[in-house]
Amino acid sequence: MQYTIKNLAVKCFVRYKELAKGKDRDSEPASKWGRPLSLTVGKRIANLRQIKGLSLPDLAKKAGISKGYLWQIENGAEPNPSIGLLTKIAEALDTTVADLLGQPKVRVKHAAIPDKLPSGLKELLEDQKRKGTPVPEDIVRALAHLQARGARVTSKEDWEYLYETIRRVMRREERT
């Protein structure tokens, strides 16, 4: 049972990340979404960078990309930056990919927390609330939408194991 619970913990964490950030599109070229982007995106990035008072090397470092590649994007020499790369640049500029693309912002529709939760999960949530450390809503949402193949998470202890695993992984990510 322990092995299946660990697998579920990983699946739950992946679901949590999907709900929090949307699907990872690092490998999808941005031009797949419509029109060629090299002329407008590069200029928007350069303008935002200058407005924020960042030099090209500063933004490249903050986004975790090379200066040369950022220069190519800003100057239209790289016609096909990936969505993942645009996400890194947008985060470094404290803006959205939609702003970089000149598109309207879209609000992510979060999956609702089901009205009927498994009894073990309810027990865990109530216990954490009593302890003064309520489970964050996004993690509750991920746990509630966890669908196990073959393994049934029923006990409070199993739900607690999944929750603690997610918390440990999140703490590790925050440190890196």
Q: Which two tokens mark 166?
A: 């997610």
Range of the domain at 64: 30-101
The DSSP 8-state label assigned to residue 82 in this structure reads B
* Judgement on whether residues 11 and 70 belong to the same structural domain of the protein: no
Interhelix angle 156-175/2-21, rounded to 10 degrees, is 50
pLDDT for 15 equals 62
The total of structural domains in the chain comes to 2
Domain boundary among 47, 74, 101: 101
The DSSP 8-state label assigned to residue 136 in this structure reads P
Global pTM value: 0.42
Domain boundary among 57, 79, 101: 101
Strand blocks (E) in the chain: none
pLDDT for 43 equals 87
* Judgement on whether residues 42 and 81 belong to the same structural domain of the protein: yes
* Judgement on whether residues 54 and 93 belong to the same structural domain of the protein: yes
* Judgement on whether residues 61 and 39 belong to the same structural domain of the protein: yes
* Judgement on whether residues 15 and 75 belong to the same structural domain of the protein: no
Q: List the chain pLDDT tens, one digit each, 176 residues.
A: 444 666 666 666 666 666 555 543 333 444 444 444 444 788 889 988 888 889 999 999 999 999 999 999 998 887 678 888 999 999 999 888 888 887 776 665 666 777 788 888 899 999 999 999 998 888 888 788 775 555 577 888 988 888 888 888 877 766 66
Domain boundary among 101, 126, 144: 101
* Judgement on whether residues 55 and 82 belong to the same structural domain of the protein: yes
* Judgement on whether residues 91 and 132 belong to the same structural domain of the protein: no
* Judgement on whether residues 36 and 93 belong to the same structural domain of the protein: yes
Whose CA is closest to 89, among 66, 60, 112? 60
pLDDT for 79 equals 66
